[in-house]
Structure formats: C-alpha cells, structure tokens
Structure 1
Amino acid sequence: MLQLTYQRHSFPFQYPFQISKGIKTHQESLTITLGIAALKGYGEATAITYHGVTVEGMVALLEAKRMMIAQYTLTTPDRFWHFLHHLIPGEHFLTSALDMAAWDLYGQMRRMPVYKLLGLAWQNVPLTDYTIGITTPAEAADRIKAHPWPVYKLKLGSRQDMEVIRAVRAATDAVIRIDANEGWNVEDAKALLPELQQIGVELIEQPLDKADLEGMKVLKELTHIPIIADEACQGEKDLVICADLYDGINIKLSKCSGITPALELIKKAKASGLKIMLGSMNEGIVGASALSHLLPLADYADIDGPLLSEDTTGMTGIRYENGHILQPQGTGFGLKPA
C-alpha cells in the first residue's frame, strides 16, 4: 500500500514575476509524497492561474481519490501513470506530481538515479537560462548585474520591449532568449525582428497567440531565429501543426502530465525534426530536480524556478553552477529532506 501525504507551500519570488498573462509575488505549490516502507518519492505541481489550476483544487481531488491511489501496487511508473490517466482524466498538473513521485520512488527501489533508469548518460547537457520577467529597461539591466549568468530569458509583451532588449544587451554579452507568452501580434513581431536579429537572440518562444496559425506562417518566413512553441504545444496531438510552424517545443511536465508522457512526446517531437526545450512552471527544488533528469534529451533548458524564488520545502536536490545543472547525486531524483 502506498503512503500518500502532501504539503502546501508558497515560494516568495525575489522580484515580482510578470509575464504577458499577469504578475505574482509568490508561487503557490503542492508537494506530494508517495512512500513504501522507509522509502519516499516526491513530486510537485504549482498553481497556475491561466491554466485554472489551484492548490485547493488539487488537494480536493487528491482527497477524493486518496484510497484508490493508496491501494495501487506500484510495479513501474509508466503503469501507474496510465492508472492515474484514467482515474483523474484531464488533471495534468496533479497527475504530473504523482507521476514524478512514482519515478522518484521507483528509482530508490531500483537504487539508481532516474536518468540512468531511462538509459541516459549525463552528457551533452544544455545550460539552463535565468528568467527576467517583464520589467523596465533599467530594472532588467540591474537584475542582470545582480545575477551574472551565461544565458538569460527575457519575458516580453509590453510597450517597452525594444528598450528592454537594448538595455539587456548593453548590460551583458550573454546568450539572450525571448519569451512573449503569446503577447505579440504579427506587427509587433515584425517591428522587433530586426533588433532581435542584430543582437543575436538565440530563440523566440511563443511570440503569437497559439490560435494565430496564419500569423505564425508569416513570421516563420521572416526570420531564421528558431521559434519554440509553448502554449501551442500541450501534448502529442499538437505535434503535426507545430512541426510546420515552429522549430521546437517547450515541454513542461505539468503541461503534458508527467515524465511518462514527456518521454513519448520527446521521442515523437524529435522524429518530426523539432528541437526540445525543457521548461518549468516556476516549480521549486522538487519539480526542478525531477525535470533535470531529462536534460540529456534536450537542446535547451529553462529550469530556473529555484533561482527565482525561495523554496520553503527544506529539500535539497538540484545544484547549479554558472548555468550548468550538475549531475544528480543519489538514487531517484537525488532529493533529501531537511
């Protein structure tokens, strides 16, 4: 029988975190624990307003299904995910957290780190970026000076986008990525593209509304900068459209419902010629540690939640060193409670 517990958390951001969809000062999060005897596996899901996900809603559903989950006999994580997929259909965030916990627990049962369970070697691991939310040009430059990093991701979608881009480039020679979170239209993008190309932007993430297919066709013809789908790719069903309109996809565990489906999504996306970015939903140490085990499969990484906010779980796990995520230590995800 699985021992099921959970804890609510609220991680304060160092700076107000603003994207085109809103602003927040704290990240609400739910940490789930699955145990067998002395072993404990951990998973995490964050509350995201524009996805309609709340901690309260996840807790209510977890309590409603508690006995059925606890009575499940864990053999392999992928079987557990399929059980959850039918038990709580459409609940991607909660399913993801439970799937994470199962992978962490299974890795401990097998006495292996998860990436080795997946047959991966800790090689060709991409650097992770440090995200700067929508802010003023002066504040963006100040944040860069306060946090030297080899790769930055700028959240854009305001009237000051051009000025922010220039201020950031003046403040650093580091790699710059852009994420508009659907905050531009075609004319906005056209106006900014010459500047983005001039300063050598590495990639542009979700520039237009995911439904603006005609706009994406136009934009794709106008630039050689890789364009990465985020909101436009929620799962496998979106790959056909994304393969025509984008150069890569941003895979988030909460969005696709866990490590188990993420592995299949990565496989099929690569077969379609798409690049892979591993992205986060401002998860703390638990969620970031889980996602990091897929890094050998990725081209780009955006796993910076623990860098942007104060994790209140007391856990240790993922380790950073100047943009590098260091090889995980220990079994499962390598997480250790305080």
Structure 2
Amino acid sequence: MKINFTIKQLQLKETFSIAYGNYDKREALLIELCHQGSKGYGECVAIDYYQINLQTFVSTLKEIQSRIETHSIIHPKDFFQFLSSLNLHPFLLSALDCAYWDLFGKLENKSFIELNNIPHKNLVESSITISVDEIDKQIRKIENSQWNKFKVKCKGLNENDVEKLLQLNRNIALDSNASFTDEDCIWLQENIKVQQFSYLEQPRPIDQYEVLKKEGFANWMADEDCQNIESLDELIPYYKSINIKLMKCGGLTPALEMIRKGKELGYKIMIGCMTESSVGISAGCVLTGLVDYSDLDGANLISNDYATGNFVENGKIILSGKSGLGIELK
C-alpha cells in the first residue's frame, strides 16, 4: 500500500460568518491510499478554533509513512486498531480511516453501505447553513433557497430575530457556536415556541453546559461538547441531541460506534460536517441512513470542489452506489 498526501485550498463561494470569525477559504489535507491500482481518499481541514495545523499533520505522516505502507490489507476495523496505536490527532485519524474504507471497498468491489449493512432508502435531508448576518438578509436567503432545511448561525441571542425566524414556518435550526449566555439559554428552554426549531446547537462554550435542561422546550444539540464516544454519558442530563462529525471523533469506524451508543442512550443524532470537499462529504453521506438529522452542506459552500462522489443536491442525499465511498478526484 502506498500513501500520498497534499495540502489543498478550499475557496468559499461567499464569506462564511460564524460566532468564531469570518472565513473566505479553508486549507484541506488530502490523503490518498493506493493498492493494486485502486485509490482511496480521505480528508481533514484546518479549523482554527480546533487549533489544527496541517503542516504538523504532514510531518506526522512522513514519520509514520513506512509503517502504513508496509501494513497488510486487512479489514478496516482492524486497520483502525493499528491507526489508533499511533496516537494520532482525531482529524488526521479520520482522514486515514476514511481513505482506508474507500480503498478497501474498491478492492472488495463493495460500497461502505454494503460492507456495513446500512439502510440507504428515504435518507434524511441535509440542512444548508445561513451565515451570521442581519436577520432580514438571513430570511431573504431562506426564502430564495431551494433547500427545505436550514441551520441559521447567530452570534449571541436577539429575541426579536428568534421571533422573526419562528414566523417563517420553515424547518430551521439555530447554531450559536457557543455564543449564548446562561440567561439566553434559560429564556430559550423556557419558551414554548422554541420547540418549533428542529434543534439549537452548541449554545455555550465547551464544558459550560450546566445551565441546560434536557426537559425544557429547546432541543439542545451538543457539537464541540461532543467530541467522542466518551462524551456521551456525561451529557445525558443536558442535551437531547448530538452532532457527530467524522473529524471530531476520528473517522467512520468510531462514528459507527458513537451512533450505536448514542441510540442506546436515547439521543437524537446528526451527522455534521465542516467546510469540506466532496471527499469529506462523501464519507458523511454513507451514515445518513442511521441518523435523525444531517448537515452535510460543506461541499455546496465551496467553489473549487476537487472531487466527486456522494453529494447533496438541494438537501437531498445522493449516493453514487459505487464501491468504497465512491470518491474520485476530478
């Protein structure tokens, strides 16, 4: 098996504004695993609020390259155990895990869905993200969109803006990226109208969720608070829902376990994404048959997607049906 890796730049179609800052581009690390003429792909991206440095990942890959290239082809879940022994950052671990699933499926001529017996009919639609902006501009974007589900970003709570969004009678979620105060959260979870929002994501900074009450009207969803499977038990009293992102948890292999345990604990589950090309989105799409929500608009937000595979069209998840994760470079 041979490994190649390169840093790419993803250009956003328009400035992406969230509570953490404004972004026009993202850097992505593309990983390619090759064996017997087949190629598997995985990806991770540089996110500043996760303090990701892709050059550090490149240095790590150079250090472990020979160990990966001399490893035999085994089942991906066994290969993940090998990867776990290397003490990699979850973002890099995810890129390698996804690339290996893609490669293994192509070698076996089976899709990830076939290999894992995952439902693939009536897939839950994805939301599209509406950046932080003046409320009237956000509403205009919603009204002009062909998508059916929306995740509206906000920086802090404006009660009048909330009222305006609720009056739209559309499928809307709120994502404050940890910018709500304790008082904001109390107002939201005690307001019966708030149950009209499909969910309210990551209201408080990491580990500052004690004010949240699961039995309130708000469907609180953990994002940054939910990093991996170890997070799930602790969050039970506070969150009704969790956002699983492959890069946060370390890839498809641990995501399958998180979904299983999350369901056992009674959580509603979302497969989410960051700003990603179709390499990352293709991996997220294969899990949508197992979850309650999806937010996989990452490739729709960039202007220079360098791959094809599974994709999202006006919210609908379109599976390629090809082997592995179905990823090909353009």
TM-score by length of 2: 0.93
Task: Give me the CA root mean square deviation.
Answer: 2.0
Change (3 A) 1:83 1:336: same
Kept in 1, the 8 Å contact 2:156–2:176? The answer is no
Q: Deviations over 1:171-197 (max 9, x none)?
A: x54200111121111212234557782
Matched, 1:298 2:294: no
1:157 counterpart (155, 158, 172) = 155
Q: Give the whole-Å Cα distance in 2 for the aligned partners of 1:163 and 1:309.
A: 31
Change (3 A) 1:69 1:25: same
Corresponding position of 2:178 = 182
Matched, 1:328 2:320: yes
Kept in 2, the 8 Å contact 1:19–1:133? The answer is yes
Match of 1:50, SS state, is helix
Q: Deviations over 1:120-172 (max 9, x none)?
A: 1312421100001211123213332443310000111236x4454455456x5
Change (3 A) 1:9 1:196: farther
Matched, 1:203 2:196: no
Kept in 2, the 8 Å contact 1:140–1:168? The answer is no
Tell me the CA shift for residue 304 of structure 1.
0.6
Q: Deviations over 1:25-58 (max 9, x none)?
A: 1111111100102100000101111111122121
Tell me the CA shift for residue 241 of structure 1.
1.3
Q: Give the whole-Å Cα distance in 1 for the aligned partners of 2:218 and 2:106.
A: 41
Q: Give the whole-Å Cα distance in 2 for the aligned partners of 1:295 and 1:199.
A: 23
Higher mean alpha-carbon deviation, 205-214 vs 127-136, is at: 205-214
Q: Give the whole-Å Cα distance in 2 for the aligned partners of 1:135 and 1:6.
A: 36
Change (3 A) 1:207 1:303: same
Corresponding position of 1:66 = 65
Which runs of 5 or more residues in structure 1 are unaligned? Answer: none
2:301 counterpart (290, 304, 308) = 308
Q: Give the whole-Å Cα distance in 2 for the aligned partners of 1:143 and 1:311.
A: 22
Q: How does 1:117-266 map to 2 (within 5 A)?
A: 117-158=115-156, 161-168=158-165, 172-192=168-188, 197=193, 200-216=196-212, 219-221=213-215, 223-266=216-259
Change (3 A) 1:20 1:86: same
Corresponding position of 2:106 = 108
Match of 1:261, SS state, is helix
Q: Deviations over 1:290-320 (max 9, x none)?
A: 111111111100111011112342x211233
Match of 2:73, SS state, is coil
Q: Give the whole-Å Cα distance in 1 for the aligned partners of 2:326 and 2:94.
A: 18
Match of 2:206, SS state, is coil
Kept in 1, the 8 Å contact 2:185–2:211? The answer is no
User: Quick one: which amino acid aligns to residue 139 of structure 1?
Assistant: K
Q: Give the whole-Å Cα distance in 2 for the aligned partners of 1:94 and 1:279.
A: 17
Q: Deviations over 1:57-92 (max 9, x none)?
A: 2112111211111111121111111111111x1411
Q: Deviations over 1:222-275 (max 9, x none)?
A: x32321111111112111112221112110110000111111111111111111
Corresponding position of 1:10 = 9
Kept in 2, the 8 Å contact 1:17–1:133? The answer is yes
Change (3 A) 1:192 1:267: closer
TM-score by length of 1: 0.91
Q: Give the whole-Å Cα distance in 2 for the aligned partners of 1:143 and 1:168.
A: 12
Structure 1 runs, 4 residues or longer, greater than 6 Å off: none
2:263 counterpart (267, 270, 276) = 270
User: Quick one: which amino acid aligns to residue 262 of structure 1?
Assistant: A
Q: Give the whole-Å Cα distance in 2 for the aligned partners of 1:294 and 1:278.
A: 7
Tell me the CA shift for residue 7 of structure 1.
2.3
Match of 2:308, SS state, is coil
User: Quick one: which amino acid aligns to residue 92 of structure 1?
Assistant: P
Q: Give the whole-Å Cα distance in 1 for the aligned partners of 2:288 and 2:313.
A: 15
Aligned length: 330
Q: How does 1:33-112 map to 2 (within 5 A)?
A: 33-87=32-86, 89-112=87-110
Percent of matched pairs sharing the same residue: 32
Higher mean alpha-carbon deviation, 136-145 vs 148-157, is at: 136-145
Tell me the CA shift for residue 98 of structure 1.
0.4
Which runs of 5 or more residues in structure 2 are unaligned? Answer: none
